[in-house]
Structure 1
Amino acid sequence: MDGYYFIQSYIFGISPVKNNSGINISDPPVPSIKPGIVFVESTDNVEPTPLVVCSVESAALGNPDKPIYYFMKGFSGNLSQYPQPAYKGIPLLSSVRNVTILPLNVTELFEDTPLKGWYQKVNPLKEKFWTHVLADGCRLALIWRYGGIYLDTDIISLRSMLFDNFTCPQSPAVFSNGAMGFQQKHHTFLWNCMEAFVANYIGHVWGQQGPELISHALKRWCNTSKPATFIGKECNGISLWITDRFYPIPYPQWERYYAPWKKEHIEWAFSGTYRAHVWNFINKQKKRKVVAGSGSLMEHFFQLHCPNTYKKFIQSSNSTA
């Protein structure tokens, strides 16, 4: 049985569907049997923002030999329900050769994991950061179940990268869960993280189930109180990459992404960066935009790394990214 069909029919209980070109998306090149790059939408929103679309498109263009999976909680599994012009993001992404959009069935995903009991008991209506906490759990379960790389939907891919077992610090003392990869499924570190997620769950503390969890899990995994000493090295089979790989601009300076840059400076500043996390959670308060003709760093990223998104969303209208 085709790997993608197996995921659709067994895990999600639906049949394969066709994209806008009439191609059965259960056909190659979307082999679920090998790890890919995973994105998650934990709300019921089915119209992704320009930034989300750019993140997924840039990962696909930068890694043409890898399958890109975009799991959406509100997605029905039937692409024909999201036609243009009523919808922009899903039609655009479904037209990209190596992108597969999948419905996110959280109950099925958490089955046979430590997160199952927690999810059955938790009350989303009483949770302060529910969509973020749910996304924290989903990324652990998805990469544990299937292997591959997880990326936040506000991470723009600048170049291809080798698949590896890795995590990356967003600052010298804090390891983020915004980007992490494990070549093979069922990695013990991820299982340990899911156990710690449940055992130390504090839903009203921002980052408790994310960076704090990963940072503490690495202390146990590396058998050290200071996992930062392994940055740029390997610890028990997991590479702790340098911050510039994913977080070249620290979050207190996030507005630099929306400031004008000279193109000759961009290549030098991001020469060691695989993917750029643009800290959209902070931007939701100020609502900075990607503006055509602004010369901003974000406009440069959109033009170069997600050109279809740029043409569809930015050139046609100055949408909030």
Structure 2
Amino acid sequence: MVSKHRLKLTLLFILSLVVFSWCILYSFALNRTDMRLCFLNSFSATPSVSLTQQKLSHNKYTAGPHLIEDVMLVEPKPNARSIIFHETSCPGEKYLSNEQNLANVPINMVHLTAREACAIESAALHNPGFNIFVLFASAAYRNDNNTPPVIEAILSYPNVHLRNLNIWAYAAGTPMYQWLKEGSLFRSRYVLSHLSDFLRYLTLWRWGGTYLDMDVVVLRSLEELPPNYTGAESNTHLAAGVMNFSPVDFGHEIAEKCLRDFLINYDGSDWGNNGPGVITRVMNDVCKTANIELMMDTKRCMGFNIMPREAFYAIPWMNWEHFFEAQYLTETLELLKNSYVAHVWNKHSKKRHIKVGSNAAYGILAEKHCPKVYAAAGEYF
């Protein structure tokens, strides 16, 4: 009898734990931020949004904030002679976990950190023959009468264009649209990072041209590089922070292979699987080898160029602090002397600030390659 009684208690305890766990998970699901709301064409598409925001979304020709133009609707559009950045943050994210808060979502004014603006200025400065596009995934507004200094700095370059990007319209008619509708992206552990991965391959498939991460400083012109390239990050992996695909022929075929790989192998629990993982797997297949050194043979890779590590990733991620500490200045600049791009590994370095005027490599590079932004950054960069 005692053993049966204990067995019943044990079963009741286990059942209680299961019910309690289910309730917690259900509660979490109900209260979890619906990240899809970050990426509507504008917050005015939400019925409960404030009247003020509804008016502002159509306010382009009056004073005050107005939606910036959509990349799909205006000229110029990206092409093979373009450098493209994506801004995929969600400034209104904290308001989206509770439907009652939607009416209080603030207007998403165009905002870039000094470091992001530095990437854009350095691209514009060194590539005057290219159009530089900055595509905002969360609908962004501008106020021409109140433009932040770092935004003014990049807009002083005639080849810089700020554009909105509606991810649903952008994916329509492409292999990615049904996958986007199914919502796997918005269940990811790394939604914003994986959105960036999704968009970089879709952008290169749609337009061709050059994709750059926003945590770079462009050090020299990319205009004379042959089309169709990516860079080695290590002896075993390629990286996805700098990529160029031709919009036609072989380059477009590679972009389509990347989209297909993204769809087949997508993993919302793995940070790198859907970015560098995609281009690494695709080129392993195209080049018929996983040996990065052998991939440097362009003929083996059917004309696709695998650039050596010093081209874009001369400072490996584990040494990211070398950009921020004066003791590594000489060593860091020496390693970068043949590089096209300096990549500062924002995933690791975003909380590390440097005082403007300090003798750290990142500051020295910024002062030379994005001088207007560096001058507008304030006390810290």
Task: Return the TM-score normalized by structure 1.
Answer: 0.83
Aligned to 1:205: 270
Equivalent of residue 224 in structure 1, options 269, 272, 289:
289
Q: Secondary structure at the match of 1:309?
A: helix
Equivalent of residue 133 in structure 1, options 179, 184, 194:
194
Counterparts in 2 of 1:124 and 1:159: CA distance versus 1, 3 Å: same
1:68 has 2:132 as partner? yes
* Distance in structure 1 (CA, Å) of the matches to 2:185 and 2:200: 18
**Shift of residue 223 of structure 1?**
2.2
1:43 has 2:89 as partner? yes
**Shift of residue 49 of structure 1?**
1.1
**Shift of residue 41 of structure 1?**
0.9
* Distance in structure 2 (CA, Å) of the matches to 1:266 and 1:252: 13
Q: List 4+ stretches of structure 1 deviating above 2 A.
A: 14-18, 29-35, 78-84, 87-95, 123-126, 183-186, 223-228, 231-234, 261-269
The range that moved more, 57-66 or 105-114, is 105-114
* Distance in structure 2 (CA, Å) of the matches to 1:244 and 1:38: 22
Counterparts in 2 of 1:118 and 1:31: CA distance versus 1, 3 Å: closer
Matched-pair contact (CA < 8 Å) for 1:109–1:138: no
1:196 has 2:269 as partner? no
1:174 has 2:220 as partner? no
Equivalent positions of 1:1-321 (< 5 A) are 32-45=78-91, 46-76=110-140, 79-80=142-143, 83-84=146-147, 87-123=148-184, 125-161=186-222, 162-163=224-225, 164-185=227-248, 187-231=252-296, 233-234=298-299, 235-260=301-326, 268-284=334-350, 287-313=351-377, 316-319=378-381
Matched-pair contact (CA < 8 Å) for 1:62–1:160: yes
What percentage of aligned pairs have identical amino acids? 27
- Deviations along 1:36-77, one digit per CA (max 9) or x if unpaired, are 00100112343111110000100000111111111111344x
Number of matched residues?
A: 294
Matched-pair contact (CA < 8 Å) for 1:30–1:98: no
Matched-pair contact (CA < 8 Å) for 2:139–2:166: no
**Shift of residue 155 of structure 1?**
1.1
Unaligned segments of structure 2, at least 5 residues: 1-57, 63-68, 92-109
**Shift of residue 116 of structure 1?**
1.0
Larger Rg: 2
Instruction: Tell me which amino acid in the other structure corresponds to 2:83.
Output: I
Matched-pair contact (CA < 8 Å) for 2:323–2:329: no
Matched-pair contact (CA < 8 Å) for 1:44–1:72: no
**Shift of residue 225 of structure 1?**
3.9
Matched-pair contact (CA < 8 Å) for 1:82–1:90: no
Instruction: Tell me which amino acid in the other structure corresponds to 1:41.
Output: E
* Distance in structure 2 (CA, Å) of the matches to 1:79 and 1:125: 27
Matched-pair contact (CA < 8 Å) for 1:83–1:91: no
Root-mean-square deviation over aligned CA pairs: 2.9
Q: Secondary structure at the match of 1:187?
A: helix
**Shift of residue 193 of structure 1?**
0.8
Structure with the bigger percentage of helix: 2
Unaligned segments of structure 1, at least 5 residues: 1-13, 19-24
Aligned to 2:8: none
Task: Return the TM-score normalized by structure 2.
Answer: 0.70
Counterparts in 2 of 1:109 and 1:228: CA distance versus 1, 3 Å: farther
